[in-house]
Structure 1
Amino acid sequence: VEMKILHIRVRLAVLLVLVLFAMSFIFSNLKRRGPLLYLRRHSELLASKYTGNIYFVETSNHLDVSLLFMCSVESAARAHPNSLINVFMRGLSANDARMSSQNVALSLLREFPNVVFKPLVFEDLFSDTPLQSWFAKLDQEKEKFLFSVLSDACRIALLYKYGGVYSDTDVIMTKNLMNLTNAMGLESDNFLNGAILVFLQPKSEFLWLCIQDFVDNYKGDDWGNQGPDLLTRVLQQYCDIKKILSCKDVTVLPVEAFYPIPYQNWRQFYSKASDSVLENLQSKSYTVHVWNQMKKWNSLQVKIEPNMLLGQMFLKFCPVTYNTIM
């Protein structure tokens, strides 16, 4: 009897070793076949644990993300612990290993269980939409604002096809957005901005019209034509209105919801913070757009300090990022 039990144990041990070997072979094969397949499988497993998707996109090939990029993703992950934070990066399409080996910021962000990095493959994302033919004809070398127009195209394609929340990488989230429905925010009295878009369900009629307008009225040398201008004019046509307001199935939120500090005051982020401003941002706003493009256009080189408004926001909403600079 003892010999029989011993034989059974040996067989079970051998079977266990074979199963472990097979699993190891399968996953190593996935990785060898490229990051797209491996990350897709990985994200499908993660998606079963989470409700709702939040999207960030990096349309250049750079993997050396900024501290503000890092804070944006971290703040989204903290405000939405039950949602999957999808960071699409064009530079990941070649080799997933570059992500962890060359960039400390990305490695730190991977420690958040609900953050996943995915290759940004335009041909896949734009397929089965009018953007597919537009992208096929696009002469990327001649585009004046290439990364911006690609970003504009990606956000409406992602939300139309899959539903969720889109965020620019210079937006800090202060609250959970999953209670909003088909929401956009006013940047000024009668002008929308697309740095934050909330369309949780796919196949929005409004977004489909945005995609069509993007292609039909494409002007690559006109900054904003495919972005804020597009959202504003399409909503006016969609609802037959001149004054921008909530209509049909689209919710338009007031300025303080997403863009409490106007772009004209972008330097405020690099000035000494007051307690009242920080409290107002936290209590009245879902997000804060930092207007990083204004900093680039003005060639401002500045280190984020703890007493600055931006430094205080880092401390409050993205402490891991804050600890990397302090």
Structure 2
Amino acid sequence: MAKKSPADRLIRRAAKSPIFSTLAFAAILFFMYADTLISGLSTKNYDILQPPQMTSNPAVEGQGQVQLPLTLNSTVLTVGITERKIEEEVENEDPLIPPPKASIEERMEWFRGKLPELEILKSNRLSEKFHGRVLELFNNNCSAQFFMVWLSTAQSFGPREFLAVDSLFSASPDGCLLILSSSMDSPKGYRLLKPLLDRGSNILAVTPDLPFLVKNTPAEAWLDELKSGNMDPGSIPLFNHLSDLIRLAVLYKYGGVYLDTDFIFVKDLSGLRNAIGAQSINPATKKWTRLNGAVMIFDIYHPLLVNFLQEYATTFNGNRWGHNGPYLVSRVLERVRDKPEYNITIFPPKAFYPVDWIKIAKLFKKPETEADEKWAEETLVDISSGSYTVHLWNKRSRELKIEEGSVMARLTADHCNICEHIYDP
């Protein structure tokens, strides 16, 4: 056996001491509860502010324009952080994914069992404050009312999404952005948006109230049927379809500009009204062949939005990607294409979708040849001269990194304020 050193013998004697045992026990307790103590301290600054008193609720009553409250609390941008007493930060689960290869009957039975967990289909104490919080934000002398929908986790709101919001305020510094999201309406979401809030950007993440948004619209009966459990939710995650519905309903109730979260914004959209962008056109006739709802601009209560909501409710199909989104917009506009009373402008692809999804990866690559460099220069000039936005076709570019010297790197540098982590995917 190895001979014990004097230091070893000293430690063994100390270990038998009652004082040593007490100190060791106290240390163990400290490490066990340190996270809880720190978590409790970190949430003290997230008290909810009460919304202002409303003079009327025309979005519910269907009367004219929305009447806004007279004053705006200077801390309105922190109103939506949370009303819940949060001791630990808990993320929402990923979008509900139905069991694979299930029959319609099996899927409906599964969905009925999941209905109690779907908070987004209900009103609660926090979501019922939705209308008041929206009005308070939009009373801030907005040049335009912008909307985004985020039904994924706050954790997945990454550099790409932050870039979209950052570039939006670079192009429209006086705009107001509402992010409809329960996950971003949290301490985690606040921390993600704080760099923009610190710059004075008018941005607020709010838990949406879906029953309120569809009330007195053609989609109200559809939501009731879904909640009854007597409807096939489809094989595609339901949250994808709910995002399609929320964007239509919020535009109808408030009017403004809806935007997906995978854009770079090049020019101010505040001056546009009642507009949708074409994704593709017929080269011979120059008429659009497919529209896209990733950018939609409408006045409050626009009749075309009623048509969209009616189409959603009567032709809902949860098994086909895009059926309730971009394909829906195209179907309805095809029917009213030549009716002047809708007063709708269809912008060419160059306005919002200047780079096709097939070529989007090239935007992220550093030019390697003289031909590549020429294409990059021409693309930058083309975008700068005729585009309001650049759609990044998220599924096609999500994992791509922005290489230094690429078109994306140069676009980002020209159209962001904070420009953090721009080379992260």
Q: TM-score, normalization: structure 1? A: 0.78
1:58 corresponds to: 150
> 1-side partners of 2:189 and 2:360: how far apart?
31
Offset at residue 91 of structure 1 (A):
1.6
Amino acid at match of 1:70: F
Structure 2 distance, partners of 1:26, 1:156, is 28
User: What is the aligned length?
Assistant: 288
Asked whether the 8 Å contact 2:163–2:419 carries over to 1, the reply is: yes
Aligned partners of 2:365 and 2:402 also within 8 Å: no
Alpha-carbon spacing, 1:318–1:238, altered in 2? closer, same or farther (3 Å): same
Within 5 Å, give how 1:164-179 maps onto structure 2: 164-179=256-271
User: Who is 1:48 aligned against?
Assistant: 139
Q: Report the aligned-residue RMSD.
A: 2.9
Structure 1 or 2: larger helix share? 1
What SS class does the counterpart of residue 116 from structure 1 fall into? strand
Q: Any idea what the Cα deviations from partners look like across 1:207-257, whole Å, max 9, x if unmatched?
A: 11010001101111111111111111101112358xxxx884110011101
Q: Deviations over 1:69-105 (max 9, x none)?
A: 1111111122222221111113246xx33323xx5x3
Q: Distance in 1 between matches of 2:242 and 2:207?
A: 14
145, 148, 171: which one aligns with 2:240: 148
Q: Which residue in 1 is equivalent to 2:411?
A: 313
Runs of 5+ unmatched residues, structure 2: 1-46, 52-78, 85-124, 282-288, 368-375
Once residues 161 and 321 of structure 1 are traced to their aligned partners in structure 2, the CA distance between those partners, rounded to angstroms, is 33
Q: Which amino acid aligns with 1:198?
A: I
- Taking a change above 3 Å as real, the CA distance of residues 282 and 147 of structure 1, as seen in their structure-2 partners, is farther
**Cα distance change of structure 1 residues 258 and 44 upon mapping to structure 2, 3 Å threshold:** same
Deviates more, 1:43-52 or 1:155-164: 43-52
Distance 1:321 1:122, change over 3 A: farther
Give yes or no for contact 1:59–1:120 (8 Å, CA) kept in 2: no
1:56–1:167 CA contact under 8 A, matched in 2: yes
Please list the CA deviations of residues 275-297 of structure 1 after superposition, one character each: whole Å capped at 9, or x if unmatched: 3322221221011100012235x
- Following superposition of structure 1 onto structure 2, how do residues 230-269 of structure 1 map, counting pairs within 5 Å? 230-239=328-337, 248-269=342-363
Runs of 4+ in 1 over 3 A off after TM superposition: 25-46, 61-64, 136-143, 321-326
Question: Relative to structure 1, is the Cα distance of residues 324 and 252 closer, same or farther in structure 2, using a 3 angstrom cutoff?
Answer: closer
CA contact (8 A) 1:304 1:311 kept: yes
- Equivalent position of 2:400 in the other structure: 302
Cα deviation code 1:106-140 (max 9, x no counterpart): 22233342122211232232222222332343369
Residues 252 and 26 (structure 1), Cα distance of their counterparts in 2 relative to 1, 3 Å cut: closer
CA gap of 1:209–1:55, structure 2 versus 1, over 3 A, is same
